Chains A and B, each alone.
Chain A
Amino acid sequence: MAFFKRRPAHNASRSQPESPAKRLLREHKEVAISSWCRLWQSPLANLLTWLTLAIALALPAALLLLLSQAQHLGKQVNQSSHISVFLASDVSREQGQLITGQLGSRPDIAQATYISAEQALADFKASSGLEDILTSLTDNPLPATILIEPANTSLGPKAIATLTQQLRQQDPIDQVLVDMEWLDRLQALLDTSERFTYSLALLLALGVLLVVGNTVRLQIESRKQEILVIKLVGGTDAYLRRPFLYAGLWAGLFSALIAWVILQLGVAYLHPPLLSLAQSYQSDWQLQGLSWMGSFNLFVASCGLSVLGASLTVGRQLRLIEPK
């Protein structure tokens, strides 16, 4: 019977020898395509899974996006923090300007601006809308002020605190005001938000692993017969694992895509009110969507988590299915 005849050396029945790497590549391509085709056999079920994953991804991604921009904004605020130095009421205009000049020449002060008591009153009249009441005052209750812009604010709140301390000790200076508390609070708030976001991201990443794991478990369950037969005719674990890992990869890809769309829509939706909020503070800050790098990270995280979730489940589940 010719069928069982083994051809002589080099296995001439094969058209041409294929290198192991080439063979592996071809097999991966075949599995990638077949698992892709399998996705569309139950599109609705898959879509629901992808949506679940996408929401789990979009939430921490959105928070990280907001956080990184809030931190950026926080830095700007920090850098533009001024120190207000109130001079004692008996300091004359000349003395005040002299002190301003001295302060302005210090290396840790970028700029010192003298605001006379009269100018302060005029500014206050203009901005407060209390013009009538203020005009009726006989004395100017406002002191002369030196507005100080510290140099090197990147040194942080500590440097500002030291500078403030030194200013307080100078003689004709009545009071030094710097909104350090507000800055500290902002920093603490940002730190808290950062930790909260990371914890949430960690929990939701765990959620992604569980959802993908469970989906793969159900897929394996529904293909039990196929897996049994493949095991009986000698399919290796790697061969059996592959389609499920690719299913995980596709799930990761699609859910990242959906999460990306959700994020961009969310940014577009939040943009107008945030813009008017920023404008009311005379800020040109704008909410940015995901950058190229951010989008890339989202896709890598999503695909990585999904494949990890699939591989954690598939090995254990495949061991449970043994031909009896």
Chain B
Amino acid sequence: MIRFEQVGKKYRDKNALVSNNFHLQRGDMAFLTGHSGAGKSTLLKLIMLMERPTSGKVIVDREDLSQLSRTQIPAHRRKIGLVFQNHQLLMDYSVFDNVALPLKISGYNERDSGRRVRAALDKVGLLDKEKLSPQVLSSGEQQRIGIARAIVNKPKLILADEPTGNLDPALSAEIMHLFQQFNQVGVTVLIASHDLALIQRLQHPVIQLNQGRISGPLSVMGA
């Protein structure tokens, strides 16, 4: 699903990523770890085409991203469900409208969109909050709304950048359990996280980044 071939990324003179190779198979779930500044975010940005690599090739869903022009980026992003650490919800939208945003962009009509949004909200257990503003929700609930928005389009790939960064351990475990559920039905999931204790319990492959380098082949930590 995701393949990096000799990928490097330089910001001015600083190397953020240095010639990295890895391959995440379709239907896999993996963690991306490393201390802050190790290049986790850069790696996710390359997959989202928020950045272009300085060298090498990034292939997502059999598509070489270097071949995509600026105008093709939106279609590429619509294939990926993205979950942020700070959830990136729009506070002047209702919960429902936040989750419906990817569907609206894809041109769904109100009826189909409503059905899908409610299914996604049901999935994260917040169906009764659709009319509220995200502002009145707890941070755990806000993160779940963010997840509902990421899955509402039924993407084949979910990327999450520190999705549990602001949550307590119980909530974090709950969120991770949601991602595992998505993975069980065939969705490829890549989660950037530095919550090593949690990662170890979950028994999924780990991509470890160290100063812009993947410090070893995919491994299952603690296995």
Interface residues of A, Cβ cutoff 8 Å to B = 1, 3-6, 13-15, 18, 23, 26-27, 225-226, 228-237, 239, 322-324
Contact = CB atoms under 8 A, between A and B. Distances in A.
B78 A234 contact: yes
A234 B75 contact: yes
A4 B102 CA distance: 16
Interface string B72-91: 00111111001000001010
A235 B182 contact: no
B19 to A, nearest CB: 24
B166 interface: no
Interface of B: 48, 50, 71, 74-79, 82, 88, 90, 101-102, 105-109, 111-112, 115-116, 119-120, 123, 149, 151, 154, 181-182, 184-187
20 contacts: A1-B181, A3-B119, A3-B120, A3-B123, A4-B154, A5-B185, A13-B116, A15-B109, A15-B112, A229-B88, A230-B101, A230-B105, A231-B74, A232-B77, A233-B101, A234-B75, A235-B74, A236-B71, A236-B74, A239-B74
Contact of A234 (B88, B90, B105, B116): B105
A6 B48 contact: no
Given A231-B74, A234-B75, 20 more contacts: A3-B119, A3-B151, A3-B185, A4-B187, A14-B112, A23-B109, A225-B90, A228-B88, A229-B101, A230-B101, A231-B77, A232-B77, A233-B78, A234-B76, A234-B78, A234-B79, A235-B105, A237-B74, A322-B50, A323-B50
Contact of B182 (A1, A226, A239): A1
A262 B195 CA distance: 66
Contacts of A13: 112, 115-116
A36 to B, nearest CB: 17
B154 A324 contact: no
